[in-house]
Amino acid sequence: MVVRVPDIPSEGLSVTEVDALGSVYRDPAWRLLAVRLRLERDGLDVFVTGELRATVSQACGRCLEPSPAEVTAAVDVRLVPRPATADNVELAADDLDVDFYAEDELDVNALIEAETTLALPMKPLCREGCLGLCPVCGGNRNVVQCACPQRPPDPRLTALKDLAARLPH
Ligand SMILES: [Zn+2]
Ligand SMILES: [Zn+2]
């Protein structure tokens, strides 16, 4: 859904229909569940506030299996027209959540995708206490119990020990 900034009425614009947005995410495993956004214009600035809820899928940080999760993101962004050159952007210290729009057009779907990405868990886990991959054989220890030693001997360390043994005491 692309909104033309000059078309945003003075009383603001609400985006609440998930179906009206079409496909929001490039990743087909991600799905927008609910959205409640308010677009308000102040001169050339557009303020977008509200909340969204989505199901996302990331690789588990330990075993790399896809791990679906539900995220809720609070949205509070100010969008300003993209300047012609980057170096005349002057952002105040409190303008952390500033984004740009170009050619009078605001891509709501892209904004939703960006906000969802920001809300992703930093260390996704497929389950509490995921056992991860075996560092020796690479097997998924949630699925197979391999017989690999827990700590493989470091070949560099072994070489050092051999060297130490051969040194005169
Ligand atoms: Zn896992
Ligand atoms: Zn193993």
Answer whether residue 81 is part of any domain: yes
Which of 61, 66, 43, 83 has its CA nearest to residue 131?
61
Closest ligand to residue 135's CA: 2
Whole-number Å distance, alpha carbon 146 to ligand 1 midpoint, is 16
Whole-number Å distance, alpha carbon 159 to ligand 2 midpoint, is 23
Q: Residue 138 has what pLDDT?
A: 93
Answer whether residue 160 is part of any domain: yes
Answer whether residue 55 is part of any domain: yes
Answer whether residue 124 is part of any domain: no
Partnered with residue 101 across adjacent β-strands are 81
Q: Residue 161 has what pLDDT?
A: 74
Q: Residue 92 has what pLDDT?
A: 54
Q: Residue 137 has what pLDDT?
A: 94
Whole-number Å distance, alpha carbon 133 to ligand 1 midpoint, is 8
Whole-number Å distance, alpha carbon 58 to ligand 2 midpoint, is 24
Domain count, the chain: 2
Q: Is the pTM of this model over 0.85?
A: no
What is the C-alpha to C-alpha distance for residues 50 and 117, in angstroms, rounded to an integer?
Answer: 16
Answer whether residue 52 is part of any domain: yes
Q: Residue 153 has what pLDDT?
A: 62
Answer whether residue 125 is part of any domain: no
Q: What is the mean pLDDT of each run of 10 residues along the chain (169 residues)?
A: 94 94 92 97 94 95 93 94 69 68 93 94 90 94 88 68 74
Closest ligand to residue 147's CA: 2
Q: Collect residues with CB below 5 Å from ion ligand 2.
A: 134, 136-137, 139, 146, 148
Whole-number Å distance, alpha carbon 154 to ligand 1 midpoint, is 25
Those residues with Cβ within 8 angstroms of residue 83's Cβ, 6 or more apart along the chain or in another chain: 89, 100
Whole-number Å distance, alpha carbon 72 to ligand 2 midpoint, is 37
